[in-house]
Structure formats: C-alpha cells, structure tokens
Amino acid sequence: MEAALRPGTAGPPVYIVGGNCPVDEANSVFGLRWSQPDASDAKWDRLATLPAGTYIWSLTAADEASIYVGTQPPHVYRLDLSEAGWTPAELAGLPTLNPGQPDPGAAVTRLVPLADGSVLAAYNASPYTGGATAGQILHYVPATSTWTPITGPGTGLDQEPIFGLDADIWGTLYAATDDRVLVAAGPGKPWQDMSTGLPRRAHLGHLRFIRYPGGGIDLFVSTWGRSLWRASWQSAAPSLPGRAAGPGLSYNTLIGSLTDGRLYQLGPGGLQPVGPIDPELMQTAMRTAVQLDLSTSQLAALLAGASASASAQAADALAATSALTNQLQRGLATLHTVSSAPQLSQAQILLGYTVAGTAMISGAAAELAKRSVQGLPDEVAAAVRAVTVAIADHAEAMAAIEHSIPAAH
C-alpha cells in the first residue's frame, strides 16, 4: 500500500492505493476511499486490472489521477484517470541488469515520484521473497518516455539489491541496500555513503523521508529484525572533529568560501564574488555563524539525551523540537558543504545547494520561533531559546553585510 500524496482529483477521493501480491487477484489495483471524517465508511474499490500473469510489487501515486504500478515480471504501468475509470498504459523500455540479457524473474519493488513529474524505480533481479541478488535504480522522464539507469559502474552504487528508495522535497535521493544507506543530490549525481551509526550488517528494508505538517524532517530506515533507525544531520560547529565554521553559514543570499576565503552573493548568473567587506561586519558575521552552529549542536545533544528518558507528557514536544532541529542542522550542513567547495567552477550546482539549504534553515527557524517551549525539560527549553536568539543575531549580521555591498554587485 502507498498513500496518494494529493488525493482529491476523483470523487470520492482515493486516499490509498494497494495491491494483493502474491495471493488472490495479484494483478488488481485497489483504492481505499471514504467520505466520513473518521473514515468509518472506508471501502476498497477495484480501480484497474493489469494484464494476466503480472504480480504487483509496488505502487505510488502523486495524485490518484496518475497511479504508477511496478510488477513481476518487470513492468511499470501508469493508470490514467478518465471518464471510463483508470486505464493502464505500460511505460516500456526498462533497461535490464545486463544489456541484451532478459531478467524474467526481476521485479520493480519500489516506485518514487519526483517533484518534476519523473519517477524512480527500484529494479531487482528478483522480489525480496526470492532472495534478491542484484539490482539497479532507474529514472523515468515522461517528456521523452525514457528509462535511464542512475546506478552502475562509477556511480558509487553498482548492481546491489535495492531495498529502500525515497526522495525528499529538495530533490535529494536516498537508497538502502542490505547494509548501506546512500544519498545522491539528484538523478545522475554520484551516490555517497551515509551509513554512520548503523550496525555493520543492518539488513535494511524500507526507507522513508518524512516532513511533518508542523515543520521539521526525519529520515527513517527499517530493518529485518534489527530495529527501526532515525537519521540525523550534524551542523558544522567548529567544536566537532574535522569541521570548521565559515563566514557564509547563513540562510540568505550570501555564502562564504572556505576554499579561498572570499564572500559570494547569489544572483541570476549564479555565485558572484563581492568586494571587500567592512572587517567589523565580517567578524560579527563569523562570530554569529559559530554561535549558531554551537547552539544548534548543543540543542541536538540535549534532545538526544532527553528523548531517551522522556515522560509521555513531554514526548510529543521533544519529538517536534527534534524534527525541527534535524532540519535546521541539515540546512547548516548543506551550506557548510557549499562553502567548502571551489565556488566559480560549479556556480550553478552550488546555487541549487545554497537555495535548498536556505529553504531548510528558513523553514525550521520560522517554526522554532513560533513554537512554545511548554512541556520541554528546562535545559532543552533554554537551548531552544538560545538557538532562536542565535538565528536572529546571525540574520542581523548577514543583513548588515548585504546592505554594505555596492548595488553594482
């Protein structure tokens, strides 16, 4: 089963799409609908039947007007809503694991829609019940009706079974193999290992990125018998081994380069260097950047300790604050990565990262500022207040620098 991300196209809305593989009606797509607020009238309806001999292994629905279904043997169908109901159409051209060699036992075990309308597919040599031995991730672009492998030699992820697959709202991709979680900045970008903190052989399963309605983010990965795990991002506090703060750790249009020490501003042409800055303004910006990193890291550490022994009354407040802190730290870490890179050689790529990092921090900062500290332990509440003050101080320092930059820039 998968939730329809934007229900409401058809009436009554389809809130959940599902299948029943590998038992009865293995090729039927069902939709769960209800009209009462408490879903007391919830009912499964058969939406469409796929060709005989296909077994449903994955579904996704950005909205219920276009539902994607992955099967064994390996096919992907799109169900398009019309007056006659949902009509299946195959998205042909799935690349096999070895070009020119068929994969009769393969299955499409996970589908993920992206914000641009394209779709990711986890394509494994066999379904999980058959003991998958190899796999790949494919990217479908509707405009060209083409599938492209985004894993393989030289990508950082080659021919491993894919057990988890998801994407976040900023376009970052996440994949789970049996023992690793990997991250890519987008389709066609290299995969990087992000498994720190997991057991050596975790036997990973589903992977889900969560953005909460009240703000904040989490990344969860489940396992076969080895617990449920939640990821966290570390900001770039100078007290952390191997990290150093830079003057451009901010959530506006300025970014400081740790590579050459210069300051850059975002503009239509990407990142452009700006002229000399008043030394006092620069020192204030650097000092507030360091304080923002430190206070955020201290809050994260306090949350980790408090959550382990939280009372039921405080659990919800701690979880919400933790999710917001996670998003704030991720934004800071993203901007720190940008500030450590050669600016001018990758201006357009770095522009995208900077905009994404800015959005993460701005959203988390706004929600933290609005959130009541009621229900939080005293030391956590104090740390939340310290973070909101640090955010405001750094924003003021960066705004002063921006106002000092000549209009020509």
Is the backbone of residue 400 left (phi > 0), alpha (psi -120 to 50) or beta? alpha
The reply to whether 111 falls in a domain is: yes
Tell me what the mean pLDDT of segment 191-212 comes to.
Answer: 93
Last residue within a domain, chosen from 55, 90, 125:
90
User: Can you read off the two tokens belonging to residue 284?
Assistant: 């204030």
pLDDT digits (tens, 9 = 90+) for 81-137: 887 889 999 999 999 999 989 998 999 999 999 999 999 999 999 987 767 889 999
Do 263 and 379 fall into the same domain?
A: yes
pLDDT at position 91 is 96
pLDDT at position 310 is 67
Please name the helix (run of DSSP H) or strand (run of DSSP E) that holds residue 54, with its range, or none: none
pLDDT at position 14 is 93
Tell me what the mean pLDDT of segment 198-207 comes to.
Answer: 92
Please name the helix (run of DSSP H) or strand (run of DSSP E) that holds residue 265, with its range, or none: strand 263-267
Do 70 and 107 fall into the same domain?
A: no
Computed over every residue of the chain, the mean pLDDT equals: 87
pLDDT digits (tens, 9 = 90+) for 225-244: 889 999 988 765 554 444 45
Do 259 and 399 fall into the same domain?
A: yes
| pTM value surpassing 0.85 | yes
The reply to whether 243 falls in a domain is: no
Give me the number of domains the chain comprises.
Answer: 3
Contact 27/73 with Cβ under 8 angstroms? no
The reply to whether 241 falls in a domain is: no
User: Can you read off the two tokens belonging to residue 13?
Assistant: 């809305």
Do 391 and 270 fall into the same domain?
A: yes
Contact 166/207 with Cβ under 8 angstroms? yes
Do 75 and 209 fall into the same domain?
A: no
Do 193 and 76 fall into the same domain?
A: no
Angle ∠(13,16,17) on CA atoms, nearest 5 = 110
Looking up residue 318, the CATH number of its domain turns out to be 1.20.120
Do 266 and 169 fall into the same domain?
A: no
* Burial class for 316, CB neighbours closer than 10 Å (0-12, 13-18, 19+): exposed
Tell me what the mean pLDDT of segment 264-281 comes to.
Answer: 79
Looking up residue 127, the CATH number of its domain turns out to be 2.130.10.10
pLDDT at position 246 is 47
269 or 162: which carries more pLDDT confidence?
162
pLDDT at position 283 is 85
The reply to whether 156 falls in a domain is: yes
The reply to whether 145 falls in a domain is: yes
Question: Which structural domain, as residue segments, surrounds residue 132?
Answer: 100-231
pLDDT digits (tens, 9 = 90+) for 329-379: 999 888 887 777 765 566 777 777 888 888 898 899 999 988 888 888 899
Contact 193/175 with Cβ under 8 angstroms? no
Rg (CA), the chain: 24
- Confidence band of 408 (pLDDT split at 50, 70, 90): very low
pLDDT at position 269 is 72
Contact 93/87 with Cβ under 8 angstroms? no
The reply to whether 236 falls in a domain is: no
The reply to whether 353 falls in a domain is: yes
Tell me what the mean pLDDT of segment 385-398 comes to.
Answer: 92
314 or 71: which carries more pLDDT confidence?
71
- Confidence band of 409 (pLDDT split at 50, 70, 90): very low
Do 260 and 400 fall into the same domain?
A: yes
Last residue within a domain, chosen from 70, 90, 110:
90
The reply to whether 95 falls in a domain is: no
Do 25 and 150 fall into the same domain?
A: no
Do 82 and 221 fall into the same domain?
A: no
